[in-house]
Chains A and B, each alone.
Chain A
């Protein structure tokens, strides 16, 4: 069965520092993987996704993630953190069930950015 594990429920970085949010998945089939961001009092916004093809995926707001099959990972990175990046980040994997894809979410990582 598909599942997602996000390492670290809280991550704190300095403004300008590297952001690294970790995600490992479990899937019996080639996965589709996603990162979503949730700002306070808002819904989820898609940052980026991997389906097939190039394993390094670039998303919005300078984020990128690399699909590493050998490590079953899909870590999210950004070279230089900005104060506006403070939010909750969710990794998700698709579960094919009942004739369509469902999203299975990780527990989330809250990113704090301090001056």
Chain B
């Protein structure tokens, strides 16, 4: 299986600032996804990062708040913009090796605390 590295692993940020999270995969993958896991809750899909085109956002998430880049098949970034304490969550990068592939792999996550 692919190795997924997320940076940073955790951060404490001031409200009103932005944080960019990086996701690096050791092989080329077709599908990359970003999830949010709020404290004590399950995972919610934020968006699908599409290589060479704009990300596809789920209901309740917008590009201005969560801009995503996918410059190539091994790398993606998620920015959490203009942060508030409600953005304190774990953010996870996930990959799938093919469009119809069933198995998804996850990075270790970025634990974000906004103060």
**Is B100's CB under 8 angstroms from A101's CB?**
yes
Question: Which B residue sits closest to A104, measured CB to CB?
Answer: B45
Contact with B along A33-57 (1 / 0, CB 8 A): 0101000011111100101000000
**Is A41's CB under 8 angstroms from B111's CB?**
yes
Select one of B43, B100, B102, B108 contacting A49, CB under 8 A. B102
**Is A42's CB under 8 angstroms from B42's CB?**
no
In the complex, number of A-B residue pairs with CB atoms less than 8 Å apart:
57
Residues of B within 8 A of A107 (CB): 41-42
B56 touches A (CB below 8 Å): yes
**Is B99's CB under 8 angstroms from A94's CB?**
no
Question: Which B residue sits closest to A45, measured CB to CB?
Answer: B106
With A43-B92, A43-B107 as given contacts, are A100 and B100 in contact (CB-CB < 8 Å)?
Answer: yes
Residues of B within 8 A of A90 (CB): 42-43
Residues of A within 8 A of B100 (CB): 100-101
A74 CB, min distance to chain B CBs, angstroms: 14
Interface size class of A (residues with CB under 8 A): 20 to 34
Residues of B within 8 A of A112 (CB): none
A43 to B90, CA, bound (A): 9
A99 CB, min distance to chain B CBs, angstroms: 7
With A98-B56, A100-B100, A101-B96 as given contacts, are A43 and B43 in contact (CB-CB < 8 Å)?
Answer: no
**Is B106's CB under 8 angstroms from A44's CB?**
yes
Select one of B45, B101, B105, B109 contacting A42, CB under 8 A. B109
B86 touches A (CB below 8 Å): no
Residues of B28-56 at the interface with A, using a CB-CB cut-off of 8 Å, are 31, 33, 41-45, 48, 56
B32 CB, min distance to chain A CBs, angstroms: 11
B104 touches A (CB below 8 Å): yes
Residues of A3-60 at the interface with B, using a CB-CB cut-off of 8 Å, are 32, 34, 36, 41-46, 49, 51
Residues of A within 8 A of B64 (CB): none
Q: Closest 7 interchain pairs by CB?
A: A43-B106, A44-B106, A43-B108, A105-B42, A105-B43, A100-B99, A107-B42
Q: What residues make up the interface of B, taking CB atoms closer than 8 Å to A?
A: 4, 6, 31, 33, 41-45, 48, 56, 92, 94, 96, 99-109, 111
